[in-house]
Chains A and B, each alone.
Chain A
Amino acid sequence: MHDSVNLEAAGIPTVFVASSEFVDAADAQSRSLGADPARVFVAHPIQDRTDAELVALADAALDELLAALR
């Protein structure tokens, strides 16, 4: 989240991807940084997913990611 805020401050539109477990943490971190960086959430969990499942998550997230960058 710091990276998003720092890159945005440098003028680079940035979107941050996290698992759905991170919704509250990302909101709190955003507040404490005084910012509202773009963020997209994918379904938790991540670590025990198969490659095929991760590819499917990326496919599903793409439109939302592109929307956050324009």
Chain B
Amino acid sequence: MSELLDPTSERSAALRERAPRPESLAGVRVGLLDISKPRGAVFLDQLQSLLEARGMTVERFSKPTFTKPAPLDLRHEIATKCDVVIEALAD
């Protein structure tokens, strides 16, 4: 593991920062990303109905396999269709 000296004012975290959060979740488009492990879809189906009941739009996505990161095209599709993402369900 290599170690670097921080070139910044050190006012922010040394870890990668999270993306800025929306001010409100009202009406946001939520992506549900199924990592494709068995039983995960049941969990996500319920989340979908809960989110839709709160007025959010839900888009479903599935990874081809839970063993690898999502392919670039899928990430791009998610990024263009969604404002926020919930990824589930690892066990």
Contact = CB atoms under 8 A, between A and B. Distances in A.
Interface of A: 2-19, 21-22, 33-38, 42, 44-47, 49, 51, 54-55, 57-59, 61-62, 65-66, 69-70
B21 interface: yes
A37 B22 CA distance: 16
Contacts of A15: 84-87
Contact of B90 (A5, A7, A13, A18): A18
16 contacts: A4-B85, A5-B16, A10-B19, A12-B31, A13-B84, A16-B90, A21-B91, A35-B16, A36-B13, A42-B89, A46-B43, A46-B89, A66-B25, A69-B22, A69-B86, A70-B22
Contacts, number: 133
A3 to B, nearest CB: 5
Given A3-B69, A9-B16, A59-B46, A45 B79 contact: no
Interface residues of B, number: 41
B24 interface: yes
Nearest to A16: B87
Interface string B7-38: 00000010110111111110000110101011
